[in-house]
Amino acid sequence: MKPFICLAIALAAIFNNAFAGSGNPAKVIFPKTFSSNLKASGSLFESHAAKICSCQILQVESNNEEQNFIAVFAQATNTGDLSFNFAAANTVLEKEKKHLKSFFYTKIKTTENVTAATECNALYKNIQVKYANVKMYDVLDADALSSKSIVKK
């Protein structure tokens, strides 16, 4: 029994020194490491521009299909002038509606116009509550498709 106790005490002393070390904890400079990791990822230091979204819910009909509800979205960057941003998004939606009528559908009726100072994916979730059978047609980039945002050289 005595050798077992001596062996247990010796093992405990070895493990205590191996895991505890010299009693001084390792120096960890958390703020410097943390901030350098954040700078490397760039997630907190990139500016995220606010978005606005304009949507038209259309009741469409073609020769091949019966009446369906589709939602066409136009998303733009909020530059601070909301009336200009919403007007640009609505212009893009009207152009797309003409395109849809000329190529795909025989009848198009605008059921509702919705605008919000949010991203289009959040607006689509809100629209699905009211229109359960609505299908998303597309989210158009109003910044790229707006004629006023194109710089002529």
Residue 59 resides in a domain: yes
Same domain, 26 and 58: no
Same domain, 68 and 93: yes
Number of domains composing the chain: 2
Same domain, 89 and 26: no
Residue 82 resides in a domain: yes
Q: Report pLDDT digits (tens) over 111-136.
A: 999 999 999 999 999 999 998 899 99
For the record, the structure tokens of 36 come out as 């350098």
Q: Which domain holds residue 17?
A: 2-41
Residue 46 resides in a domain: no
Q: Report pLDDT digits (tens) over 32-83.
A: 565 566 566 555 555 567 999 999 999 999 988 887 899 999 999 998 888 8
